[in-house]
C-alpha cells in the first residue's frame, strides 16, 4: 500500500541513493543532510521501499519546492504527482499559500506536470543548473495553493 511520510536524518543514505541514480547532477550529502534536518522532507513508500523524495521549505506563507526526485524505475507511474500534491497539502497545514519552484528548461516531463497542476511559468533563471561542461537555464514557476 503506498504512503507518504516524513523523512528524517536516518533516511540520508536512501535519499542519496535515489538522487545519484536519478539525477546526473545530484544534490550532495551536505544538501540532503541540511534539508533532512532543517526543512520539510517527505518520501513516497510502496511496500516498504522508498520510491521518491521531496524537500520543501516555508518562509511566512511561501513554500519553495527545493527538490523532488523519483527513482528511475518508478518514473511515469504517477508517483511524482502523488508526492508533490500530498506534500503541498501537508505544507498548507503549516500556513503555505503559494508554492515557488525552479525546473530545468530541458525537463519537459516535470514542466508539463507542474503546468497540469496549475503552476504558471514566471521567468527564466539563466545558467542556474550545472550541465556537463556548462550550465542550463531554470524555468521559474509558481502556483497558489491548493493546487487544481
Is 13 annotated in the active site?
no
Q: Which of 62, 89, 102, 136 is catalytic?
A: 102
Task: Name the region of 100 (left: φ>0; alpha: ψ -120 to 50; beta: rest).
Answer: beta
Q: Which of 19, 44, 56, 114 is catalytic?
A: 114
**Number of Cβ atoms within 10 Å of the Cβ of 63:** 27
Is 114 annotated in the active site?
yes
Dump strand ranges (E) for 1-148: 3-6, 40-46, 49-59, 62-70, 98-104, 120-131, 134-144
Rounded distance, CA 34 to CA 37, Å? Answer: 5
**Mind telling me the catalytic residues?**
102, 114
Amino acid at each position: 500500500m503506498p504512503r507518504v511520510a516524513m523523512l528524517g536524518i536516518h533516511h540520508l543514505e536512501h535519499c542519496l541513493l535515489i538522487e545519484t541514480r536519478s539525477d546526473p547532477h545530484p544534490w550532495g550529502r551536505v544538501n540532503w543532510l541540511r534539508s533532512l534536518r532543517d526543512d520539510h522532507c517527505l518520501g513516497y513508500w510502496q511496500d516498504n521501499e522508498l520510491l521518491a523524495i521531496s524537500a520543501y521549505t516555508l518562509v511566512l506563507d511561501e513554500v519553495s519546492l527545493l527538490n523532488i526526485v523519483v527513482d528511475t524505475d518508478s518514473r511515469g507511474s504517477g508517483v511524482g504527482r502523488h508526492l508533490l500534491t500530498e506534500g503541498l497539502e501537508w505544507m498548507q497545514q503549516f500556513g503555505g499559500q503559494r508554492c515557488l519552484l525552479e525546473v530545468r528548461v530541458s525537463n519537459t516531463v516535470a514542466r508539463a506536470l507542474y503546468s497540469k497542476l496549475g503552476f504558471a511559468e514566471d521567468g527564466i533563471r539563466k545558467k542556474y543548473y550545472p550541465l556537463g561542461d556548462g550550465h542550463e537555464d531554470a524555468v521559474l514557476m509558481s502556483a497558489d495553493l491548493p493546487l487544481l
